[in-house]
Homo-oligomer: A and B are copies of this chain.
């Protein structure tokens, strides 16, 4: 498979991005990575590499900054690395695009391309989250901050297929984030989405409303929410995790003397296990092709894992299943 990797995207680009690509092509013998970005800077990084096998360069002279307005950036910088990645996908020169750059620009680039899978109304970003029962997927975490009920319904369907194919759970359960379990809770968006699920072929798999505290208990496999709430959830988890780990380090590890090193090593293990880089990236589901968005602070491990996810995704025929499923179970009325 061929992947376009935004070599300029991310807080630490291009160094760790290219290092991650090197690791990924070594681990995946059938993967070719097209490094999209400033040719000179990429060449400089590659000069030290042991091999350049299955690494290509596609020059892009511009970069959209992390703090830049995505729409402005895409308009003002036509030769930016993100647009070039999407262009390679549109021209079918690659099967997947991966970037740790501006998530907003990646999504806007995808929306602008209008290369959605058949029957998909709006793509959504799915993220794998650790829970007490393994892993769950939450969708959407920021592609669509003002979704319609049909979008959330489709997120549930696409998220379930992702869980089946990628987490190998045959019968995923779906939950809708709300402020309480009762059907009457929340605002129109969640009430209408609740009704859509209950009137669909997915009713059996729909567990109804779930609350914030149910996520990490592993109450469901697929957590459906609007991109505003989902984005807050994702970043809040990061913040709470960071905060509690500091407190544990100070109060618990600090209380130890002879076994302090032992405790600190175990804590470090936990930090590594639940660090975002273990999962690499989050797929933008609903795109005709594969799109993985990565954390802005991605290191080489995160990029390598994101490329690995793209490879798994490609092999799993996820997109074909989504189209087939939405074909037989359309999401209510056309817009």
Q: Report the separation of the CA atoms of residues A186 and B146 in the bound assembly, to the nearest whole angstrom.
A: 9
Number of interface residues of A (CB under 8 A): 65
Q: Is the CB of A241 within 8 A of B238?
A: no
Q: Is the CB of A243 within 8 A of B263?
A: no
The residue on B at minimum CB distance from A259 is B259
| Contact mask for chain A residues 208-221; partner B; CB cutoff 8 A; 1 contact, 0 none | 00011111110000
Quote the shortest CB–CB distance from A71 to chain B (angstroms): 8
Q: Is the CB of B266 within 8 A of A242?
A: no
Which listed residue, B104, B211, B232, B259, touches A256 by the CB 8 Å rule?
B259
The residue on B at minimum CB distance from A186 is B145
Q: Report the separation of the CA atoms of residues A177 and B256 in the bound assembly, to the nearest whole angstrom.
A: 38
Residues in B whose Cβ lies below 8 Å from that of A259: 256-259, 263
> In A263-277, which residues have CB < 8 Å from any B CB?
263, 265-267, 269-270, 274
Contacts A/B (CB < 8 Å), 24 sampled: A67-B181, A69-B182, A130-B243, A131-B243, A132-B246, A145-B179, A187-B228, A211-B235, A212-B236, A212-B237, A212-B238, A213-B239, A215-B239, A216-B240, A216-B242, A228-B229, A229-B232, A232-B233, A241-B244, A244-B245, A247-B274, A248-B267, A258-B259, A263-B263
Seed contacts A179-B228, A212-B233, A248-B267; 12 additional CB < 8 Å A-B pairs = A130-B243, A186-B228, A211-B231, A212-B234, A213-B239, A216-B239, A216-B243, A232-B232, A240-B241, A248-B248, A257-B259, A258-B258
Listed in ascending order, the chain A residues whose CB lies under 8 Å from chain B are: 67, 69, 104, 130-132, 142, 145-146, 177, 179-182, 184-188, 211-217, 225, 227-229, 231-248, 251-259, 262-263, 265-267, 269-270, 274
